[in-house]
Structure 1
Amino acid sequence: MSKARPDKISHDLDTPTDLSKAAAEKISAALNVLLADAFALYLKTKNFHWHVSGRHFHDYHLMLDEQSDAIFATTDQLAERVRKLGAITLRSIGQVAKLQTIRDNDEDYVPPREMLRELMEDNKHMAAAMRKAHKLCDDHEDSGTAGLLETFIDETERRTWFLFEASRQEGSNAA
């Protein structure tokens, strides 16, 4: 017998929803990309947290730890929202790698200001992707997912702001 099609969901996992099948599939697909990006951004933020150095080490180390925790906290909510829509979410690191749009950084050394700037751009990218997904939710009257995304957009903008301000200070001549 042939392997089940990837778009076919087991009856046991087919959570009922009042959204159309097409709407649930489109929204879930967008959420799974956001979830993959959240995992990628979490790991990159942790990477920079572990490898930051320099005169602002303590402040950056703590800020990046706080930010990585906040990013990781979104993953369960995104995945559970996909399941609430009756779809399947990520199952492996391989799926994350296939879906992520946030680029990895495997450099041996990244200067602190570059770390902060890169994370700032990644968070801006995430906010833009969340807005796009929010529009999709609005188009399909999915207020549950839209509300969740509104909170995550605000949190992402906060991270962007902190990274921007911290990177400006690093680049200045202030003592």
Structure 2
Amino acid sequence: MAELGNNAKAGLVTALNGALADTLALYMKTKNFHWHVAGPRFRDLHLLFDEQAAQLIGTVDAIGERVRKNDEYTLTSIGTIASQTRIKDQDDVTITADVMVAELRDGNMLLHKRLGEVKEAAEEVGDNATSGIVDDWIDQTEERIWFLNQTSK
């Protein structure tokens, strides 16, 4: 990796920590919906949400380690996650399955945008490792969006 200037490196780390915050918040929202979904599509959505939550939590450590490999600090608490995420909380456990699907689709779209910012920041500073791995995270996010779009038809 090329030697990073302080401003460029700060931009990459900010983008990575933002993606980390969004991923953790979206994971929690997805598990919330996994636990509370109800109705005739319960089984299918319960399983889909669980699969998607597992995929999200599976990327958390890799994102955090990219920050640390840049010799910077990751998010440290629920408070820092809340302050940096773009994913809105949903505490109403009585919303419909259709609303859950739409909220998860929209949340994944926000994460997709954030991951694009990570990709741009990584390429700007010549961090090929981060640029390459974020492609996989983007692909996973696009798959989740696709599944959520298809299930809402």
Query: In structure 2, which of residues 97, 108, 125 is the aligned counterpart of residue 112 of structure 1?
Result: 97
Gaps of 5+ in 1: 1-15, 169-175
- The superposition leaves residues 110-160 of structure 1 with CA deviations (integer Å, 9 ceiling, x where unpaired) of 100110011011111111111122112111111111111110000000000
Identity %: 39
The structure with the greater share of residues assigned to helix is 2
Counterpart mapping for 1:86-105 below 5 A: 86-105=71-90
- Higher relative contact order, chain-length normalized (CA < 8 Å, sep 6+): 2
The number of residue pairs the alignment matches comes to 153
- Partner-residue secondary structure (3-state), 1:101: coil
- The list of structure 1 runs, each at least 4 consecutive aligned residues, that deviate by more than 4 angstroms after superposition, is none
Gaps of 5+ in 2: none
Instruction: Give the distance between the partners of 1:63 and 1:129, measured in 2 at CA.
Output: 23
Partner of 2:6: 21
Query: In structure 2, which of residues 130, 134, 143 is the aligned counterpart of residue 158 of structure 1?
Result: 143
Counterpart mapping for 1:19-98 below 5 A: 19-98=4-83
**Greater Rg over alpha carbons, structure:** 1
Note the C-alpha offset of 1:17.
7.3
Partner of 2:133: 148
Say what the alpha-carbon RMSD is for the aligned residues.
Answer: 1.4
| TM-score for the superposition, normalised by structure 2 | 0.95
Instruction: Answer yes or no: is the 8 Å Cα contact 1:17–1:85 preserved in 2.
Output: no
Note the C-alpha offset of 1:107.
1.1
